[in-house]
């Protein structure tokens, strides 16, 4: 009986009127399909990783290009700023040179004017000193001739001689004073 039951059990596995079948072929097909799906998912995942890697690489290239463009713009901007500063320095140097030249010209004019004024003043002083010297000489000559007349007349011989020496000393002192003044103003 137990043998019959087992045979019967085998017969009952299939549908009525069909022979019993082994389900392992179906299971193998399902496993094979599952493995293929797993492999397909792994391939898709690998392709997704590749796409993500490509996208990231493209993003990095774009960012590098943007950074390079920004750096170039910064360099150009800095170069323009430095050029503007250099031009400002050049303008300041030109302005300073022009101001310096104007000051030198003004100083030259002032110096020339002062030299002319000093020369004219010195010439006037020399004429005045010469006129005074001539007047003093004429006065001394007149006094000396008066003394000579007195001496020739014989009266006041000692007094006339003393007065002549006094006048002669005064004349010498006046001439020395005039010479000192002239050398002070004329630098001789």
Residue 122, φ and ψ in degrees, nearest 5: -65, -40
Q: How far is CA 63 from CA 38, 52, 75, in A?
A: 36, 16, 18
Q: What is the pLDDT of residues 5-42, one digit of tens each?
A: 444 444 445 556 666 666 788 888 999 999 999 999 99
Residue 157: domain span: 2-186
Identify the three-state secondary structure at position 188: coil
DSSP, res 15 = P
Write out pLDDT tens, residues 90-143. Answer: 999 999 999 999 999 999 999 989 988 988 888 888 888 888 888 888 888 888
Query: What are the distances in angstroms from CA 92 to CA 44, 56, 85, 86, 96?
Result: 71, 53, 10, 10, 6
Q: In the chain, how many domains are there?
A: 1
Locate 138 and state its tokens: 């004429």
The pTM (predicted TM-score) of the whole model is 0.36
């Amino acid at each position: 009986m137990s043998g019959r039951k087992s045979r019967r059990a085998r017969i009952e596995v299939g549908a009525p009127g069909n022979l019993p079948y082994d389900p392992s072929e179906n299971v193998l097909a399902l496993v094979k399909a599952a493995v293929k799906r797993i492999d397909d998912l792994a391939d898709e995942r690998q392709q997704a990783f590749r796409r993500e890697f490509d996208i990231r690489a493209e993003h990095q290239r774009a960012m590098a290009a943007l950074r390079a463009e920004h750096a170039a713009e910064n360099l150009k901007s800095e170069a323009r700023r430095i050029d503007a500063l250099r031009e400002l320095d050049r303008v300041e140097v030109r302005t300073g040179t022009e101001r310096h030249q104007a000051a030198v010209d003004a100083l030259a004019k002032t110096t020339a004017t002062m030299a002319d004024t000093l020369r004219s003043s010195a010439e006037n002083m020399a004429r005045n000193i010469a006129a005074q010297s001539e007047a003093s000489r004429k006065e001394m000559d007149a006094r000396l001739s008066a003394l000579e007349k007195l001496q020739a007349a014989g009266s006041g011989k000692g007094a006339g001689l003393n007065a002549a020496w006094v006048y002669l000393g005064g004349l010498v002192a006046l001439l020395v004073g005039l010479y000192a003044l002239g050398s002070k103003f004329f630098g001789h």
